């Protein structure tokens, strides 16, 4: 009887030594991706660091604390030099503008509340950069995202991070099965961000105490409207703030200054009831306000669905799952009713407030940590 002489899998899942396994690490210049690169280099992998310049870091859109700008490119390069692996900077400015920034501006002008970080992962990092990694003859690409990739009976599965406070699954729901096959997330199993910083300190990385980057790298100080006005001059056209019952309450300086669910800063004080933004009517240039109960909905239409379940999406009339309609909210029980391979209607078992077009609706297993994909909320009720 012959002995089993198969080569054991290395920590990235390949049946060969780390030194023969090339891994491209997407390095933003922050502590997370720097730790991933240092860890894999320390394990003996053939590491290649790649940093994307996504926008002109000298322009007004840049800000302190953003990723993929000047100081971050310098920090990523320094980590590569200190750990002894090659590092490349790729100018993706035009790709980023076409694939992310322009849609962000257009969808915001249409009254939606976009999530450009998801589009960046989907259309830039996990598309063009992933293809670049393959061109470099890499076996896989690793990132510093807090999410887990686990092998299931039908191939790799996407799972929430061990640390619920750091979990980035909401921003990665559009990762396709083919992409998941090539991607690795070495930090997803860590118990906390403190553990990542401890690893950075152990490796002597200068970025060990570097502050986390902001979610939207090209929006200074969270002021969406100022960015939209730069990108789309004349976008802030004035109009009326109207009560849902038809009363004109005040004037506004542009629909782009408001979001669904907003209460503060409406400039309509003196009323006996608190009012919230319940609808943005771009065509009429109206901000529609009403009582809080008008924000509540059970029905959420979703399109551009990326399904990560084992069976085809339309193989069942209903899927009983949990969903997140905003990144900051916990998953809630829901029923998905497929309308096609990429569209569905979601019934929330508990009504949610402030469900907004342009946000993502991400699907989770009701028990356990698995992610079943998600889609885009495309109109409000």
Q: Which residues are annotated as a binding site for ATP?
A: 26-33, 52, 144
Separation of CA 269 from chain center: 36
Distances 86 to 51, 103, 305 between C-alpha atoms, Å: 11, 34, 37
Distance between first and last Cα of the chain:
67
Model pTM score: 0.89
Reply yes or no on domain 296-377 having CATH 2.40.30.10: yes
Reply yes or no on domain 236-290 having CATH 2.30.30.280: yes
So what's the pLDDT on residue 5? 52
Q: Would you kindly state where each structural domain of the chain is located, as residue ranges?
A: 18-203, 236-290, 296-377
- Name the one residue in this structure whose structure tokens are 């009254």: 111
Candidates 165, 144, 119; CA nearest to 28 is: 144
So what's the pLDDT on residue 62? 43
Phi, psi of 158 (to 5 degrees): -100, 130
Catalytic positions are 120, 217
Cβ pair 131, 152 in contact under 8 A: no
Candidates 54, 81, 84; CA nearest to 69 is: 54
Q: Which residues are annotated as a binding site?
A: 26-33, 52, 144
Burial (0-12, 13-18, 19+ Cβ within 10 Å), 317: exposed
So what's the pLDDT on residue 56? 62
Phi, psi of 350 (to 5 degrees): -120, 125
CATH class assigned to 18-203: alpha beta
The segments of the chain whose pLDDT lies below 70 read 1-5, 56-70, 214-215, 220, 270, 380-381
Separation of CA 221 from chain center: 19
So what's the pLDDT on residue 261? 87
């Amino acid at each position: 009887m012959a002995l089993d002489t198969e080569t054991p899998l290395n920590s990235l899942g390949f049946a060969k030594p780390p030194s023969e396994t090339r891994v491209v690490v997407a390095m933003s210049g922050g502590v997370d991706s720097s730790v991933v690169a240092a860890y894999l280099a320390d394990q003996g992998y053939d590491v290649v660091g790649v940093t994307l310049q996504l926008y002109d870091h000298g322009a007004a859109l840049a800000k302190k604390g953003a990723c993929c700008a000047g100081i971050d490119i310098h920090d990523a390069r320094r980590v590569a030099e200190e750990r002894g692996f090659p590092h490349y900077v790729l100018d993706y400015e035009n790709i980023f503008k076409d694939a992310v920034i322009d849609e962000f501006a257009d969808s915001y002008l249409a009254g939606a509340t976009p999530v450009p970080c998801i589009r960046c992962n989907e259309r830039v990092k996990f598309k063009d950069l992933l293809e670049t990694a393959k061109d470099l003859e890499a076996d896989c690409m690793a990132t510093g995202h807090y999410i887990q990739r686990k092998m299931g009976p039908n191939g790799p599965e996407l799972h929430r991070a061990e640390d619920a406070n750091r979990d980035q699954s909401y921003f990665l729901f559009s990762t396709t099965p083919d992409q998941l096959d090539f991607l690795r997330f070495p930090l997803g199993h860590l118990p906390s961000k403190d553990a990542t910083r401890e690893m950075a300190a152990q490796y002597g990385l200068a970025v060990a105490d570097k502050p986390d980057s902001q979610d939207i790298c090209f929006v200074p100080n969270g002021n969406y409207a100022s960015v939209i006005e730069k990108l789309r001059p004349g976008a802030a056209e004035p109009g009326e703030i109207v009560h849902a019952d038809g009363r004109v309450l005040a004037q506004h300086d542009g629909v782009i200054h408001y979001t669904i669910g907003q209460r503060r800063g409406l400039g309509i004080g003196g009323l006996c009831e608190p009012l919230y933004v319940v609808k943005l009517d771009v065509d009429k240039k109206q901000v529609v306000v009403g009582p809080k109960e008008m924000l509540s909905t059970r029905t959420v239409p979703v399109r551009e669905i990326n399904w990560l379940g084992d069976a085809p999406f339309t193989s069942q009339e209903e899927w009983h799952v949990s969903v997140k309609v905003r990144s900051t909210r916990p998953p809630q029980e829901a029923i998905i009713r497929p309308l096609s391979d990429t569209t569905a209607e979601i019934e929330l078992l508990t009504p949610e407030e402030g469900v907004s077009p342009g946000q993502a609706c991400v699907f989770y297993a009701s028990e356990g940590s698995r992610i079943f994909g998600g889609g885009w909320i495309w109109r409000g009720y």
